[in-house]
Chain A
Amino acid sequence: MIEFWKRYNITIVLFTLVFSLSGLSFYNYLIQKNLLLEQMRNDAQDTAGSIIAAMNRFHDIKSTMKVQKLVSDISLGLEIFEFRYIEPDGVIRNSMFKEEIGTVYQGKSFQETRTGTIPMGKFFFETRDFVPVMSIYYPIRMDDQLIGIVDLCVDISEYKILLSPAQTDFLLMRRQVDILNLLKSIEGSVHNSVEITSKTDFHNFLKKYVETANNIIQISLVDQQHRIIMSNEGSIIGKRVDRTYVSSTEIFEMNGRPTYRIVMPDINMNGSKKKEQLILLLDAGSYVKNEHRILRTALLTSAMAILFALFIARIIYYSAIESSRKETERLEQLVKERTQAIEFLSKTDALTGLWNRGYLEEMMELEFKRSRRYHKDMAIMVIDLDYFKKINDTYGHLGGDEVLRRVGKSLLSGLRETDFIGRYGGEEIVVILSETRAEKAFELANKICSDIASEPIEFGDAVIWVTVSIGVSALRPEHTTYEEIFSEADDALYASKNNGRNRVGLYSHS
């Protein structure tokens, strides 16, 4: 886990950053969108509320024009026991008992008028609330069409207590005339109000309402059977709408422009028990525009977060690559240097700094093959320190080592750059002289011999005089291996040693 974190920490952090920023911007978008929607819904509800209030007021005005004032005047001012204005379907439009307005009238005698047992427009006697009354259901017609029924009854209890039947009949007849006169005046009043109402068209009212409001497209009132019973658009009145149309609030496209539909359910218009629904279509153009704007902002924020993260990732990637490249280069250089040093050490002699025997033999073979192939000259010089054992015995091994070191140094400075000098073993040093004839090699050997003999070596307080014996041999066509030349040089060296040392012996093949 820790390894994983160490390896991918930057990636994880960047991903988290991008996701957090994108998430935040999306969350912000959702909040703002919901706020816009909420605001539009509240506005729509306010508008719907004001429309409903206006519509109810409209109905109120109509109702008031009918019998409201009459009811109030009659119930309190006259000796009337009950007074109702009932619509043909039995719904009480107005009554002296406010609680029953809007309900269907359940009176027993009223039910009997519907079945025809009690004729309308005729007086009859019954008991209401334990009180003997004289009642009449008076029909109000307009163009031969029943538009309402007035239920009116008077208390006649005192007639029964005080008077004889003959007197009662006479007085009741007079009372009936009075009541009929009252009913006639009520009928006239209702006729007048209905005429006024018919001139006040509800459809026109809604049409005017939509025209004056700047964002309302359509107002419709739908009944329980999903039939449009009223609308500002006359052409759709009476049409049916889908159940889904009235059950959801949504934004949809209508005539190419975004429209918001809000449904206000269970509206109780006009005091009636019938539940209706108000459907309001509002122009949602500004909402859609604003919603697109905040969506664009959210997407831009996310895109910027991703780009920013990619940019940081790229910078981190390049800097990592660069540091890695530098480190590799440094390591390669170090390995190279170390390898060279090891290689050098493996080829050199630690004491004298000259090439060691292995490398010397390798080079002798190489130089031999090269010279033979290209028909070039080549000579080999074998140098041996005279009386080296004696030097060791006299000055110790440190003295011997110092002598070897100094002789090596002297050879390096005295010979040519192209000459290859190596320590063959003990006090024996071999020099490969490429492209050098035997005579020249002999000359060089003599120079070396004399140079070493002329320069004493200082070791501490002592001065050591050193001489060398040298054997020289050169390549000839009959040679097949380098060992042959080397052997010849060695022979020449022994000859020099035998001839008194401090001299050069050139191998002579004749």
Chain B
Amino acid sequence: MNFRHLTAVFTVLCLCTADGWCSENARVMDELNSPLTPNPLKSAIGEALYNEAIASGEYRYTGNDKCRLCHRDFFIGRKHDQHDHSMDYISSGEFKNNPRCLVCHSTGYGTPSGFVLLEKTPRLSNVQCEGCHGPGSNHIKVASLKKTGGGLLAGEDNPERLKKMCKVCHTSRWNRSYNDFESAYSKYKKAVPK
């Protein structure tokens, strides 16, 4: 391999990177010019139920440290999941306080007791368990009384709501990490308590 070849490879790599950055940048620009992404929980369960649940005071975000008390294996497994690193994409840049981004890169943003700012609520950064299942305080209360669990606004017992939760953020713009929603959804194993 001579110098000319190396130069050709370098050029190709630069072009690809630039193309990727350009397209990523285009998606971000597109997102910034689009209507605000709605609150995922409110969209999934409907406004009436959302208002009733929040008003009751029973549904509060606890952070996944509390989930770990019973679902420890799932907690450890999630450390390899991109959801658990979603804040990394925005935390160092200009968008770290942008509501358009935070709504999908944190847990419970826009909901009372949910994520507010990295400085105020660092424990609710990233998309944690409650990011998809809704506030967990009521689940802890219910599961401590009966082994069957339950008590979540978007639990595994209601897959339709759960799928709606996914689809609020994973729009056609932000679905590059998967091709088929159903097969991606089915990859998530049940969080059997240990």
Q: Which of B37-45, B50-58, B66-74, B164-172 contacts A (4 or more CB under 8 A)?
A: B66-74
CB distance from B95 to the nearest CB of A (A): 16
Chain B residues, Cβ within 8 Å of A161: 91, 118, 122
CB-based nearest B residue for A159: B122
Which of B76, B91, B125, B140 touches A76 (beta carbons < 8 Å)? B140
Inside 8 A of B91's CB, which chain A residues have their CB? 161
Contact of A158 among B72, B122, B140 (CB under 8 A): B122
Pick the contact of A130 from B79, B119, B140 — CB < 8 Å?
B79
Find out whether the CB atom of A162 lies under 8 angstroms from the CB atom of B79.
no
- A158 to B122 CA separation, bound complex (whole angstroms): 6
In contact, B118 and A81 (Cβ under 8 angstroms): no
| A97 close to B (CB within 8 Å) | yes
- Determine the distance from Cα of A161 to Cα of B90 in the docked complex, in whole angstroms: 13
Min CB distance, A132 to chain B, in Å? 12
Shortest Cβ distance from A154 into B: residue: B65
Cross-chain contact A129 with B123 (CB below 8 angstroms): no
CB proximity of B141 to chain A, nearest CB, Å: 10
- Are B123 and A158 in contact, CB atoms less than 8 angstroms apart? yes
A96 within 8 A of B: yes
Contacts of B122 in A (CB 8 A): 157-158, 161-162
Interface residues on A, range: 10 to 19
* Interfacial chain A residues near B119, Cβ < 8 Å: 162
Say whether A129 contacts B75, CB under 8 Å.
yes
Q: Tell which of A76, A99, A130, A158 touches B66, judged by Cβ atoms closer than 8 Å.
A: A76
A129–B72 touching, CB < 8 Å: yes
Docked complex Cα distance between A76 and B66 (Å): 7
Which residues of the partner chain B approach A96 to less than 8 Å between Cβ atoms? 69
A425 to chain B: closest CB distance in Å? Answer: 135
Report whether A75 and B79 are in contact in the complex, using a CB–CB cutoff of 8 Å.
Answer: no
Interface assignment of A79: CB less than 8 Å from any CB of chain B: yes
CB closest residue in chain B, given A163: B119
Q: Which residue of B lies closest to A96 (CB)?
A: B69
**In angstroms, how far is the closest chain A Cβ from the Cβ of B120?**
10
Q: Which residues of B contact A75 (CB under 8 A)?
A: 69
Q: Does A155 make an interface contact (CB < 8 A)? A: yes
Query: Which residues of B are found within 8 Å of A97, using beta-carbon distances?
Result: 69, 72
Cα–Cα, bound, A76→B125 (Å): 20
Q: What 1/0 flags go to A74-96 for Cβ under 8 Å of B?
A: 01100101000000000000001
Assembled-state Cα–Cα distance A155/B68 (Å): 13
What total of chain B residues lie within 8 Å of the partner, measured CB to CB? Answer: 16
Query: Smallest CB-CB separation from B121: which chain A residue?
Result: A158
In the complex, what distance in Å separates the CA atom of A157 from the CA atom of B84?
A: 13
Quick check: is B194 within 8 A (CB to CB) of the other chain? yes
Given A129-B75, A130-B79, residue A162 in contact with residue B118 (CB < 8 A): yes
A81: which B residues are within 8 A, CB to CB?
65
Q: Mark A265-292, 1 if CB is under 8 A from B, else 0.
A: 0000000000000000000000000000
User: Taking the nearest CB of chain A, how far is it from the CB of B84, in angstroms?
Assistant: 9
Do the beta carbons of B79 and A129 come within 8 Å of each other?
A: yes
Query: Is the Cβ of B76 less than 8 Å from the Cβ of A130?
Result: yes
Looking at the assembled complex, report how far the CB atom of A501 sits from the nearest CB atom of chain B, in whole angstroms: 151
Q: Is B140 in contact with A155, judged by CB distance below 8 angstroms? A: no
Check B69 against A129 for contact (C-beta < 8 Å): no
Within 8 A of B (CB), among A58-77: 75-76
- A160-185 interface with B by 8 A CB criterion: 161-162
Closest to B193 in A: A99
The CA-CA distance from A76 to B79 in the complex, in Å, is 22
Known contacts A130-B79, A161-B122: A99-B65 contact under CB 8 Å: no
For B122-138 the 0/1 string (1 means CB < 8 A from A) is 11010000000000000
In the complex, what residue of chain A is closest to B137 when comparing beta carbons?
A: A76
Residues in chain A near residue B65, CB distance under 8 A: 79, 81, 155
Complex CA gap A79/B118 in Å reads: 17
Closest partner residue, chain B, to A97 (CB atom): B72
The complex places the Cα of A81 from the Cα of B65 at a distance, in Å, of 7
Q: How far apart sit A99 and B79, CA to CA, in the bound complex (Å)?
A: 21
- Point out the residues of chain B lying under 8 angstroms from A129, CB to CB: 68, 72, 75-76, 79
Interface members, chain B 72-109 (any A CB < 8 Å): 72, 75-76, 79, 91
Chain A: minimal CB distance from B165 (Å): 25
Q: How far is the CA of A162 from the CA of B75 in the complex (A)?
A: 23
Chain A residues, Cβ within 8 Å of B66? 76
A79: B residues at CB distance < 8 A: 65, 123
Q: Which residues of A contact B72 (CB under 8 A)?
A: 97, 129
A76-B139 Cα distance, complex, nearest whole Å: 13
What 8 new A-B contacts, CB under 8 Å, besides A76-B140, A79-B65, A162-B118?
Answer: A96-B69, A129-B68, A129-B76, A129-B79, A155-B65, A158-B123, A161-B122, A162-B119
B residues near A (Cβ < 8 Å) are 65-66, 68-69, 72, 75-76, 79, 91, 118-119, 122-123, 125, 140, 194
| 9 chain-A/chain-B pairs, Cβ below 8 angstroms | A75-B69, A76-B140, A97-B72, A129-B68, A155-B65, A157-B122, A158-B123, A161-B91, A162-B118
Chain A interfacial positions (CB closer than 8 Å to B)? 75-76, 79, 81, 96-97, 99, 129-130, 155, 157-158, 161-162
5 smallest CB-CB distances across A and B, nearest first, come from: A158-B122, A130-B79, A129-B76, A96-B69, A75-B69
